[in-house]
Amino acid sequence: MPPRDEPDRPWRAEGVKNRPEKKTDKADGGGGGGGGFRPSRNMMIFWLLLLLVFALSYTSMNIAGQKERADIPYTAFTQQVSAGNVKDVYTKGLEIQGKLKQAQQVPGQDDKKKTYTDFKTLRPEFANDNIYGEMVSKGVVVEAKPVTESRGLLANLLLSLLPTLLFVGLWIGAMIWIQRRMTGGGRGGGMLGGFGRSPKPVTPDEKRATFADVAGIDEVEAELEDVVDFLRDPDKYRRMGARAPRGVLLTGSPGTGKTLLARAVAGEADVPFYSAAASEFIEMVVGVGAARVRELFTEARKTAPSIIFIDEIDTIGRTRSSSASMGGHDEREQTLNQILTEMDGFSGSEGVVVIAATNRPDILDPALLRPGRFDRQITVSPPDLDGRVEILKVHVRDVPLAPEVDLTELAKMTPGMTGAELANLVNEAALMAVKRGHTATDNADFHTALEKIQLGTRRSLVMPEEERRRTSFHESGHALLGMLYPGADPVRKITIVPHGRALGVTVSTPESDRYAYDEKYLRGRIIGALGGMAAEELVFGVITTGAESDLQQVTQIARGMVGRWGMSVRIGPLSVLPPDGGDPMGQYASQGTLDAVDEEARRIVDECYQEALRTLSDNHDKLDALATALLEAETLDEVGAYAAAGVPRSSGQPALTGGPTTSENGSGAGTGSGTTTT
């Protein structure tokens, strides 16, 4: 994304080429676009500042014009008169100012270098001398006028009004600055200059994103091909009376590539691309966001056909409240209203397409989603296995790979990962290869990077032997139930090496991507998550705090089964709990129904816990063997884990050795979900 050189401009411009220059008006100093009052105001401030500078200069000249005179005693003056060293004097009342013929040392100063020729003194009223006659006899020129002429009326007026003029000038400048901040600023700036905020065009030879840079979401690319075709040849659609979608809303989880898709559409069609985050329109002062929206759409129309991309539009596009709002809410609603107005103002032939992205489409205002504004809503989902392979191919273009690296096998180890997460995986693997001094990134680098991302950084924690033994049985309980329970996800890795906040980790992922889950699979997830607690109770007769994250996962799955997916006979096919974990009362569920949900969830968990205890008790020898092998090796991959437990690998697909995998801990439907238990 091109950087923003001007912080006040809340958008970025990409691909703006051959933009026509704006005409300027000589009368306003090149301001332009701001109406008749703004240029004259700029000129008024300019001349006011010149007037202030002139007044200050005039005052300083008058002050500088007054020569510095030495203040001497009257006796020293009379001595110089008697010596015939006084050239001329000027008198005004009792004050005498004059000039000596030859410089003398300043009276009372030890420094002989401090001399004076111009002096001033006061004649005492009690002096009874004939100083005037003596000066005449010595040839002194005597004038009865002040040595400094009085300032004129204009100078006195300027000096008296100077503080007021300075205050007025500063006040006007502050008001203009605040108004420009509120209205988004002018296009030119006149003789004061610097207020122009037109998008800066990106150089034509800069590499732009295209559909070649987007992988793993082919169905979304097909949806956007119509937009690209319209931007390339809008006349073809006008002849048929058709119009392109005014707006396209991209929804999906973070990191799925919504922003990249918008840039790829602009790059594929070779049109200007304006991008902004919705939060960048909002300011404390009400009206700033609406003004910025107007300016953004105005700029896009001037370079049409073009694309406007607004990221995280839910920031300003939330459902408007019917109650009175103040402050930030009022500013957000004004900004939203301006977006609605601008999109309604499109005639369909202007060639401006608005693309917005959000991961919360459920909270958007209905007026924003109606046809005529955002005509299309496209869901960008995490990629499947083939999509992950294609995404990895894109991100390893500039990464040297070892011959043994198989991107397909790596994609199988990363179910549920988005494009951004896969890019991060490749980067972490490359960093690991640099640290190890490799010339190419190999499997070990990818496995270590995946372990770091999904499990956390290894901790050099020295655990007591008893703690290590309990942790070993805890993780072995998770793993053994995953191996034995029908339909459970295969175990990929077990470790008792502390990672992040966990003392041990067991990773299980499905053989292939899953898109929906039945009750049997979800019960298997609960049984596997409770395996650690069940193993501790079976072997040591105690329950520790190590099962905290397991219980959180179990509670989430069980409540979803009962309150969201209709897997309880008592509750029936009702959606009682909100999908986002919000307030259940928002679903208009009674307190009795919510109590029944809690009771049913408890029943399911209790049944699964008893099943876990029973299965581990029947296979106690396998549990001991797996825990012993884990204590010795500390980390077991898929092959080693199944061999240590003596459980045959039931799947016909090859085992994935060496690499940890993970996925969403939640139980909601999604692509390639697996489990990570601690």
What's the number of CA atoms in the CB half-sphere (13 Å) around residue 99?
8
CB 481 within 8 A of CB 531: yes
- Kindly tell me the sign of the dihedral angle through the C-alpha atoms of 606, 608, 613, 618: positive
Q: Where would I find the beta strands (DSSP E) of 496-633? A: 505-508
**Which residues touch 323 (CB under 8 Å, ≥6 apart)?**
none
CA-to-CA separations, 403 to 185, 394, 443, in angstroms, rounded? 58, 17, 9
Known active-site residue 475: yes
CB 483 within 8 A of CB 642: yes
Residues in the chain: 678
Amino acid at 40: S
Residue among 342, 428, 475, 611 flagged as catalytic: 475
Which residue's entry shows tokens 């209905």?
366
Q: Rounded to 10 degrees, what is the CA torsion of 565, 566, 568, 573?
A: 160
Which residue's entry shows tokens 């309150």?
563
**Which residues touch 349 (CB under 8 Å, ≥6 apart)?**
234, 238, 243
| Distance in angstroms (rounded) separating the CA atoms of residues 476 and 532 | 7
| Distance in angstroms (rounded) separating the CA atoms of residues 367 and 298 | 22
Instruction: List helix spans (H) across 83-149.
Output: 131-137
Which residue's entry shows tokens 């092959």?
639
| Distance in angstroms (rounded) separating the CA atoms of residues 402 and 428 | 16
| Distance in angstroms (rounded) separating the CA atoms of residues 209 and 271 | 12
What's the number of CA atoms in the CB half-sphere (13 Å) around residue 48?
19
| Distance in angstroms (rounded) separating the CA atoms of residues 162 and 100 | 38
Whether a cis peptide bond, with omega within 30° of 0, leads into 579 is no
In what helix (H) or strand (E) does residue 544 lie, and over which residues does it extend? none
362 secondary structure, DSSP code = G
Q: Which residues are catalytic?
A: 475
